A and B are shown apart, each in its own frame.
Chain A
Amino acid sequence: MGLKDLHSGCHCFANRMRKCWGKEKCPGTIGPLSQKGKAGRIRICKVTGDRRLCARMASMGVYPGIEAEVICPKNGSQCILKIEGGTISLDNSVSDNILVTAL
């Protein structure tokens, strides 16, 4: 790997880190929830997309820094999240916009 590649890789990583609201809480690899293939504990790093949706998600308890449990392995697009005492189901247009890291 050349220096250029390394630089672009770092740059990409830095960008991803920058995008992460509450980034200090997300040390691992960050990716959209929709691409998370396994069940297990995650931490929400950032909620992107439509403003109304972000606000609605926050009111339902999905906001950066919160930990959640994914209960839908191999479901790809659709997803069920267990957050605190509630269970929230999401479609892929929403889970695409939730950036998470595995715990």
Chain B
Amino acid sequence: MTRQVIMALAGNPNAGKTTLFNQLTGARQHVGNYPGITVDHKEGLLEHQGTRITITDLPGTYSMTAYSAEELVARDYLISNRPEVVINIVDASNLERNLYLTCQFLELGVPLVIALNMVDVARDRGIEIKADKLADLLGVPVVPIIARSGFGKDKLIDEALAVAARKQSWQPRDISYGDDLDAAIAALVPKIEATHFVDGLYPPRYIALKYLENDEQILAKGKDTDPATAAELEAIVNSVCEHTTKTLDVYPEAIIADHRYGFIKSIIRQGVVTHKFDTDRLYTSDRIDQVLTNRLIGPVIMLAILFGVYQFTFSWSELPVALLEDFFGWLSAATETILPDGRLKSLVISGIIGGVGGVLGFVPLIMFMFFAIAILEDSGYLARVAYMMDRVFRIFGLHGSSVMPFIVSGGIAGGCAVPGVMATRTLRSPKERMATLLTVPFMNCGAKMPVLALLIGAFFSDNKAQYMFLFTMLAWIVALLAARLLRSTVLRGAPTPFVMELPPYRFPTMRGLLIHTWERTWQYIKKAGTVILGISILLWAMMTFPQLPAERLAGYEAMRQNIASGYDETIVAEQAQERTVLSAAATDLAGQLQEINKREAEEALRHSLAGRIGIAVETVSHLAGFDWRTNIALIGGFAAKEVIISTLGTAYSMGEVNTDQTESLGERLKKDSNWNRVVAVAALVFIMFYAPCFVTVICIAREASWRWALFSIGFNTVFAFILAVLVFQIGSFFHLG
């Protein structure tokens, strides 16, 4: 029988856990040069010499105390799943700080193996580490590895399996914390042991330490499970706390931290680490920071870089987007000739090609944008953006850590609000988190981008990149103002401090960039092929049924015959042959018939379910300049924003029986009497800010509550509509259209 082993990967943020996880399991989890990428734990499988290993990648943490969501996730996992071995990834170039977490694993007693990662980077920096000596002194196996290249991974797994095979119970290690605290621990432990406190899940000494460290989760658990013992423990802790603050002016956790570092130093100073030299690379990275994060030049460079991203995306993607658009035009025309007239043809051309093609046509644009974001992320610059933006975010009641959710959601256009909403887990303050969570859907996600690109392309074609940049800025401004509004009304509260580790600048590898670009682009394509296809077909059905009553259809047929009867039979026959060159009379006849067809198609659309809804909403939406066809698309957008484009495409392509015209949707909108520049801006504003898509709403409900999810639908829609009305009314007043 195959042996089964459960392992966990744990360590500091950016120590290379996910890189090692991918190396071991062959997975392609997102590895970012940005702290806090892994918020939840991820599982993978690995076969090693006949052993089946389930390996879990835990979020990066600096300690095992409940100071952040990641720390809670990691600790809860270890306690409730009890992995047979924990691989602690330690960054060799920052050994002392990384061993601080190791100390806490030792105190918890988990079976441990240390993976000494980035030994190559450490060597470049002149740091030599004697792994054997470190292993002897700590009493746990230490294996030097290079997660990026896979060096040492087999040995690491061998060691981990050897530890797991011993099947030892958890053996907590004791570290001395000085006379005062050791005495307090000695008083706490017997009480914890006697009452089997907190269900005996944690080692008694560990609970005592967490009480001294004022760990909110353990304190709350204690109060819930055994209030009497909890009160006794708290009394002891309070008295020692009073003593340390009076004599040393510090809380116990500071003394604990000091002793932990003392313990670490005592180990590494026994010849474990030798510094050969300081290398220039460190200074290069620092010098880059001195310029890029400078108070004055930094933000200017940041804006220039972001603008560069837009220039790059739009100029480079123009040709492939145009080619794809032509391809779908050709496909529609080809289908037109192959399929017989009827509902199937309408479904394929209007529903499927118009719907999915409309979304897929923008794949190159999305791909270029993701590529640019991947460069920023992998190089480490994105973390600097968060740092610089903290100053601005603070004004609006948000936090520097809100930047990543904003960027993921489409702060640099092209993200998605769903991972954005999930990324808010890194925020520790519930109110700042809620404000971020509710405003991230305002960003221009990958689904809104095609709408922006389409309308900007159609109405402001001269300066596409500039307008795109402008609308992205607008999204930011509106999101920040909305956050300010929320923070000064329903989410009032004090700000929390910003502390974030900046990863070193790294040259992104082409492989990494391509993987990041592809994984995000593939998600977009997959969505187009599944969810969007389904919604497109549903909307097509809503726009097709119920069909016109037979007498109305007969009426149109009679009108067509009536017109045809006024012409000579040869002219009618010439027109019916659909030749490219027609005589003047035949052209006239074709024009009249097309007019009738158009009227019939419009009436059919008005008669359909979607048309009826669109018309009903028009009584209100005309204030913002939206006609009933646009309304259909906007209502479809509640399901998914991608659908807006496809529904507009369907609404404006329906009834165009004569598909010689393979003109794009943009051109059609430009020619339509209901559309002009003002309507386009009003529509863009509305689309950017109205209710989040269905998936995001569910995600908000899961992360917060249904109350907040419904609030986001109502608040955003009303807010967006007011803005759109203002834009349309003011624009129309000044005849800007």
Q: Out of B248, B400, B501, which one reaches A87, CB within 8 Å?
A: B501
Of chain B, the residue at the smallest CB distance from A50 is B497
Question: A74 to chain B: which residues have CB within 8 Å?
Answer: 295
Of chain B, the residue at the smallest CB distance from A89 is B387
The answer for the CA separation of A61 and B264 in the assembled complex, in Å, is 12
Say if the beta carbon of B293 comes within 8 Å of chain A. Answer: yes
Of chain A, the residue at the smallest CB distance from B122 is A85
- A51 lies within 8 A of B214 (CB): yes
Q: Out of A21, A64, A75, A88, which one reaches B499, CB within 8 Å?
A: A88
- B67 lies within 8 A of A52 (CB): yes
Question: B290 to chain A: which residues have CB within 8 Å?
Answer: 39, 71-73
Say if the beta carbon of A2 comes within 8 Å of chain B. Answer: no
Of chain B, the residue at the smallest CB distance from A77 is B391
The answer for the CA separation of A61 and B394 in the assembled complex, in Å, is 25
> Which one, B249-257, B568-576, B608-616, is touching chain A?
B249-257
Of chain B, the residue at the smallest CB distance from A49 is B497
Say if the beta carbon of B227 comes within 8 Å of chain A. Answer: no
Of chain A, the residue at the smallest CB distance from B390 is A91
Of chain A, the residue at the smallest CB distance from B64 is A59
Question: B224 to chain A: which residues have CB within 8 Å?
Answer: none
- A84 lies within 8 A of B94 (CB): yes
- A80 lies within 8 A of B257 (CB): no
Of chain A, the residue at the smallest CB distance from B241 is A51
- A86 lies within 8 A of B501 (CB): yes
Say if the beta carbon of A38 comes within 8 Å of chain B. Answer: no
Q: Mark B54-96, 1 if CB is under 8 A from A, else 0.
A: 0000000011010110000000000000000000000101111
- A21 lies within 8 A of B254 (CB): yes
Return A30 CB to nearest CB of chain B, in Å: 13
Q: Out of B253, B293, B390, B503, which one reaches A55, CB within 8 Å?
A: B253
Number of CB contacts from chain A to chain B under 8 A: 142
Question: B125 to chain A: which residues have CB within 8 Å?
Answer: 85
Question: A87 to chain B: which residues have CB within 8 Å?
Answer: 285-286, 289, 501-504
Q: Mark B484-507, 1 if CB is under 8 A from A, else 0.
A: 000000000001011111111000
Say if the beta carbon of A93 comes within 8 Å of chain B. Answer: yes
Of B91, B249, B282, B383, the most chain A CB neighbours within 10 A belong to B249
The answer for the CA separation of A75 and B290 in the assembled complex, in Å, is 10
Q: Out of A18, A52, A61, A75, which one reaches B97, CB within 8 Å?
A: A61
- A84 lies within 8 A of B96 (CB): yes
Of chain A, the residue at the smallest CB distance from B383 is A89
Of chain B, the residue at the smallest CB distance from A64 is B258
Question: B289 to chain A: which residues have CB within 8 Å?
Answer: 71-72, 80, 87
The answer for the CA separation of A1 and B249 in the assembled complex, in Å, is 31
Say if the beta carbon of B294 comes within 8 Å of chain A. Answer: yes
The answer for the CA separation of A74 and B383 in the assembled complex, in Å, is 20
Near B by CB (< 8 A), chain A positions 32-69 give 39, 47, 49-61, 63-66, 69
- A55 lies within 8 A of B213 (CB): yes
Say if the beta carbon of B100 comes within 8 Å of chain A. Answer: yes
Q: Out of B97, B293, B498, which one reaches A60, CB within 8 Å?
A: B97
- B97 lies within 8 A of A54 (CB): no
Known contacts A51-B214, A88-B502: does B97 contact A83 (CB below 8 Å)? yes
Question: B206 to chain A: which residues have CB within 8 Å?
Answer: none
The answer for the CA separation of A56 and B63 in the assembled complex, in Å, is 8
Return A86 CB to nearest CB of chain B, in Å: 5
Interface residues of chain B, those whose CB is within 8 Å of chain A, are: 62-63, 65, 67-68, 91, 93-97, 100-101, 125, 213-214, 248-251, 253-254, 257-258, 261, 282, 285-286, 289-290, 293-295, 383, 387, 390-391, 394, 400, 495, 497-504
18 A-B residue pairings within 8 Å (CB atoms): A21-B254, A22-B258, A49-B497, A51-B251, A53-B497, A56-B67, A71-B290, A75-B295, A83-B97, A84-B94, A84-B95, A87-B285, A87-B502, A88-B501, A89-B501, A89-B502, A91-B391, A91-B497
* Those 6 A-B pairs whose CB atoms lie nearest each other, nearest first: A85-B94, A58-B257, A59-B63, A61-B97, A59-B62, A91-B498
